[in-house]
Structure 1
Amino acid sequence: MALVLSVSGSPSPGSRTARLLRHLDAALALHGHDVVPLDVRSLPPEALTGADTSHPAIVEVAEQFARADGLVIGTPVYKAAYSGLLKSLLDLLPQFALAGKTVLPLATGGTPAHVLAIDYALRPVLSSMGAAHITQGWFVLDRHIAVAADGSVTVDPAAAGPLRVVLDQFSAALGRAELLPTPS
């Protein structure tokens, strides 16, 4: 069906954000999509902090963005905004790197006080980068993501139902995305 790039903007190796995304990647695969995970923290720090757009790792990531039909962009919320690590990557991509793409924004955080970070911090950036369609995003409280000793993830029913709905909407939008012209 569609190629989805699933981007985790968390700087933490044990991140609930990344674990949630990988959990959702499996659900997207069941929808018939090809999913490519990308943990921004795995990119060379010198390329990100030095704004080195010619670094081979950054060139490859830009190509992954270009090949993708859709993107899941996940971030922890720090101080009512998406992570600085995610911002570092987005700043290195071409201005219209999301042109013609369907995007699902997701965020995690410790308190519902940050629930609007998707709409007030992340969505405007995704829009300015040319996303064709930004589907309804979702904010998941950290306490609703349980990680077992074996690394498996369980999402509390309070978040699992709404997540399923936004994931289904994203998947359906990907099916229609092929009909949208890609701006040149």
Structure 2
Amino acid sequence: MAVILSVSGSPSATSRTSRLLRHLDARLESDGHEVVPLDVRDLPAQALLGADPGHPAIARVAALVDRADGLVVGTPVYKAAYSGVLKALLDLLPQYALAGKTVLPLATGGSVAHVLAVDYALRPVLNSMGAGHITQGWFVVDKEITVSADGQVTVAASAAAPLYDVLGRFSAALSPAGSRPTLYATG
């Protein structure tokens, strides 16, 4: 199937955003996709803050983006926008790095007051980078994401059904014409 780059734009190692993305990665893998996880926080700060597109780690990310058929781009919402580390990375990629790619924008935040960040902050930058198809994005309130002591993620039933529907549509957009996407259960 498709190669998907799953990008977490969270600066926190214990982020609900990152954990949610890894949970969704497993669902995409069960649908037959190859998923490559990328946590922007693991990239060298000097390369990001120094705006060094030639740094080997940034060049590696650019190669991953080039290889991918699609990207899931997740971010926590800070000050009504996507994270600064995600912005730093996107600024270092080539202008049309997303040309021909299918992209699923996702965001998490403490309040539904930030729901528009997906469409008014994240979507425009993905579009400006030439994304071939940006599927419907989704916002999940932090309190709807539970992480158990062993790291298992559970999404509240009220958020799970629409989130998994959006994920299924993204998966279908990556699938060859005529194939049937998996319908994800909400559990």
- TM-score using structure 1 length: 0.95
- Name the residue aligned to 2:143: 143
- Name the residue aligned to 1:160: 160
- Name the residue aligned to 1:24: 24
Give yes or no for the alignment of 1:131 onto 2:131. yes
Structure 1 unaligned residues grouped into runs of 5+: 178-184
Given residue 111 of structure 1, which amino acid in structure 2 is its aligned partner? S
Counterparts of 1:158 and 1:74 in 2: how far apart (Å)? 20
Give yes or no for the alignment of 1:36 onto 2:36. yes
Counterparts of 1:176 and 1:160 in 2: how far apart (Å)? 26
- Name the residue aligned to 1:95: 95
User: Pairwise mapping of residues 41-120 of structure 1 onto structure 2 (< 5 A)?
Assistant: 41-120=41-120
Q: Give 1:47 shift.
A: 0.2
Aligned residue for 1:108, secondary structure, equals strand
- Name the residue aligned to 1:181: none
Given residue 81 of structure 2, which amino acid in structure 1 is its aligned partner? A
Aligned residue for 1:22, secondary structure, equals helix
| RMSD (Å), alpha carbons | 0.8
Q: Percent identity?
A: 73
- Name the residue aligned to 2:182: none
- Name the residue aligned to 2:181: none
Please give the per-residue CA displacement for 1:66-98, whole angstroms capped at 9, x wherever unaligned: 000000000000010000110000000000000
Given residue 140 of structure 1, which amino acid in structure 2 is its aligned partner? V
Aligned residue for 2:77, secondary structure, equals strand
- Name the residue aligned to 2:121: 121
Counterparts of 1:176 and 1:78 in 2: how far apart (Å)? 36
- Name the residue aligned to 2:172: 172
Counterparts of 2:31 and 2:103 in 1: how far apart (Å)? 16
Given residue 54 of structure 1, which amino acid in structure 2 is its aligned partner? G
Aligned residue for 2:160, secondary structure, equals helix
Please give the per-residue CA displacement for 1:13-33, whole angstroms capped at 9, x wherever unaligned: 100000000000000001110
Aligned residue for 2:74, secondary structure, equals strand
- TM-score using structure 2 length: 0.94
Given residue 147 of structure 2, which amino acid in structure 1 is its aligned partner? V
Counterparts of 1:31 and 1:50 in 2: how far apart (Å)? 38
How many aligned residue pairs are there?
Answer: 177
Q: Give 1:176 shift.
A: 4.7
